[in-house]
Each structure stands twice: as structure tokens, then as C-alpha cells.
């Protein structure tokens, strides 16, 4: 389904989804860049969630994430979300063996020498999300198209659209990393929801490759948790195997989350070898519509807001 078809479908079948898409497009033009953070977040929350944002007494997971955007602003957070600067932190806390090998770092897209990179690699900006470009085969790779996408990403600041403060002063750069995959030609991505150094659950995304993503949450013993509307139970005959090293994955996530009121730690598992993915302070930017109120409230209870 193309972009236009998606918009038409939303208008016909999901009016709130349509409003959210339009709001995101308008916000990304920069028209609200000078609006006060609190006022902007209240407006944005209404557009995304269809209800008022309670900042005086936040209760739910989504509400508390918005509160943390405004009031939990430690300088170290900027380093943690910077995909280049965070590498030293990972080396110091859990060891360099958890880092995906680095192939290069550049200040702008024109500096990148794609010819010197191996046949497979990943390039992405260090200061934002969703700018990654995966090259599996150089014969099908367009360096100019990659530069075009990276130029656009380097000139945007995620903070102004999301008000996620850690990104505000991130230095825009591009890094290249080794392309990784498991023996089956895939890559298992595990997202750990952590609260004050304890990993409550891990989210597994299934169906992404066929455009039908469902999000399944499991506890450490691999019991499915009823957090997400799209993945409350496994379909008949469908299995998501528990990795043999899941205990280690939970342990790594908890080490990396120490001292943080909440964080999502993303890790990769490649045939038993664990790699660090990224720190995500605000899952879905605090607009997680996949949770019903019961789940939103339960996860909110796990966040102890700092004074």
C-alpha cells in the first residue's frame, strides 16, 4: 500500500489515525519549533492519543514518558542516544565485544567513501532514528541515493518534532557499521523495557518483513504478557522460540539500564553472540497506542519519577 492509499484508508477507516499522520507531517515542517515544550507536548499528546495529558499527576506509562521529557534532563542522556559517543560507554560498562564493528565516521554525507566499504554494511546517522541504510549487495546500491537520504537526515533535529530532550544537542554525524545477520539470514532484535535497572519484559517484533508487524512481550521465563493489543497471544501453530542466551540478554539489558528511571535497551542476538543496538528513552515517543489502559497503567506503575 502506497502513501496515498494509506492516507485514504486511514480517512475512511481510522479518523484518529488520519489526524495523527497529518499532525506528524505538519509538526515536521518546523512550524511549532518555537512553541514552549509543555504546551507542544500537551497538543501533540491530544493529537496522538485523543485525550488530555496529565502532567500534574501522571499515572500511565505514556503520561510519565511525557513528564520525563520535560523534567528529567541529565547531560549524560545526550551521550547515551548518540550512536557514536555511546560506544565508549558500552565498552566501559559491558565490554567492547558487545559492539558492532565500526567501519567509519563522517561529519557529512559527501565525505563518505562508499568504495572503501565492504560489500555489505549499514550506514546511519548518529543523532536521530530511522535513518539507517542497509547494503546487502553493492551491485544494487546507489551511493547517490544514500547520500541524498543522509543529507536530509543530517539537517533535521528530532527534538523539535518529539521534544525528546536527549536529542536536542546531539552532534549530527554518519557512521558505518559491519552488516550482521544470523545463520538463517535474519537478525533477531530484542527490545527490553527496563525500570530502575530491572528488565520487566522483552518485546519481540514478528512479521516486519511481510509488512504485518506484531509486537509480542515476554517475561524472563518466556511467558507471553498481555501488554500489546496486536500481540496478546500467539496464533495457532506459530512459535517464537526462547533464545538459549535469554538470561544473558536480560542481564546485559539490566546492566545498561542501571540508574535510569526507565529505558528501552535494544539488543541483537546473532547465533548466540549479543550486540548492543541502542538506548531508547521514549518508546514510540510516549504515544504508544498499542497498549490498552490496563497495560499503560501497569507499566506506568513501574516508573518511579525522580523528584
State mean pLDDT over 215-242: 84
Average pLDDT over residues 278-287: 97
Whether the predicted pLDDT of 52 surpasses 80 = yes
How many residues appear in the chain? Answer: 307
The candidate with the shortest Cα–Cα distance to 192, out of 87, 280, 306, is 280
Mean of the pLDDT values across residues 73-95? 98
Query: At a CB cut-off of 8 Å and minimum separation 6, what does 131 contact?
Result: 124, 125, 149, 150, 153
Question: What pLDDT was estimated at residue 231?
Answer: 64
Positive or negative, the CA dihedral 167, 170, 174, 178 is negative
This prediction's pTM: 0.91
Q: Percentage of the chain surpassing pLDDT 70?
A: 92
pLDDT of residue 27: 85
Q: Is the pLDDT of residue 37 over 50?
A: yes
Mean of the per-residue pLDDT values for the chain?
91
Query: What's the pLDDT at 6?
Result: 60
pLDDT of residue 102: 98
At 186, the pLDDT band (50, 70, 90 cuts) reads confident
Confidence at residue 60, expressed as pLDDT on a 0 to 100 scale: 98
Cell matching residue 260: 535510569
Q: Which band of pLDDT confidence, cut at 50, 70 and 90, is reported for residue 10?
A: very low
- CB contact at 8 A, 10 and 21: yes
Helices in the chain by DSSP H: which ranges?
3-13, 15-27, 37-49, 61-71, 76-81, 86-93, 143-154, 158-162, 246-256, 293-301
Given this model, what pLDDT does residue 4 score?
A: 61
Least confident of 47-61, 140-154, 196-210: 196-210
For the ranges 11-20, 100-109, 132-141, 282-291, the lowest mean pLDDT is seen at 11-20
More confident residue, 306 or 80: 80
Hey, what's the torsion of the CAs at 286, 200, 74, 125, to 10 degrees? -60
Q: Assess whether pLDDT exceeds 90 at residue 237.
A: no
The mean pLDDT of 150-174, rounded to a whole number, is 96
- Residue 149: CB atoms within 10 A of its CB come to 17
Amino acid at each position: 500500500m502506497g502513501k496515498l492509499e494509506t492516507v485514504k484508508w486511514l480517512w475512511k477507516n481510522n479518523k484518529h489515525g488520519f489526524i495523527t499522520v497529518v499532525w506528524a507531517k505538519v509538526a515536521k515542517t518546523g512550524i511549532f519549533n518555537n512553541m514552549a515544550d509543555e504546551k507542544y507536548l500537551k497538543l501533540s499528546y491530544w493529537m496522538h492519543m485523543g485525550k488530555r495529558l496529565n502532567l500534574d499527576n501522571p499515572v500511565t506509562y505514556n503520561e510519565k514518558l511525557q513528564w520525563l521529557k520535560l523534567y528529567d534532563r541529565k547531560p549524560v542522556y545526550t551521550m547515551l542516544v548518540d550512536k557514536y559517543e555511546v560506544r565508549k560507554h558500552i565498552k566501559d560498562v559491558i565490554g567492547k565485544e558487545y559492539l558492532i564493528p565500526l567501519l567509519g565516521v563522517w561529519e557529512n554525507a559527501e565525505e563518505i567513501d562508499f568504495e572503501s566499504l565492504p560489500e555489505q554494511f549499514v550506514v546511519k546517522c548518529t543523532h536521530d532514528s530511522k535513518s539507517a541504510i542497509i547494503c546487502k549487495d553493492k551491485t544494487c546500491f546507489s551511493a547517490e541515493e544514500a547520500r541524498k537520504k543522509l543529507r536530509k537526515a543530517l539537517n533535521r533535529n528530532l527534538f523539535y518534532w518529539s521534544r525528546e530532550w536527549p536529542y536536542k544537542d546531539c552532534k549530527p554525524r554518519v557512521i558505518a557499521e559491519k552488516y550482521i545477520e544470523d545463520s538463517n539470514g535474519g537478525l533477531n532484535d530484542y527490545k527490553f523495557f527496563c525500570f530502575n535497572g530491572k528488565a520487566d519484559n522483552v518485546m519481540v517484533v514478528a512479521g516486519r518483513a511481510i509488512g504485518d508487524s506484531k509486537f509480542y512481550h515476554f517475561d524472563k521465563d518466556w511467558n507471553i504478557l498481555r501488554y500489546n493489543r496486536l500481540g496478546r497471544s500467539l496464533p495457532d501453530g506459530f512459535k517464537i522460540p526462547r533464545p538459549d542466551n535469554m538470561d544473558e540478554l536480560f542481564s546485559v539489558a539490566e546492566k545498561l539500564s542501571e540508574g535510569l528511571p526507565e529505558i528501552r535497551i535494544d539488543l541483537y542476538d546473532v547465533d548466540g553472540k549479543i550486540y548492543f543496538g541502542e538506548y531508547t528513552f521514549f518508546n514510540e515517543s510516549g504515544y504508544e497506542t498499542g497498549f490498552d489502559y490496563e497495560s499503560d497503567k501497569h507499566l506506568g506503575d513501574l516508573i518511579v519519577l525522580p523528584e
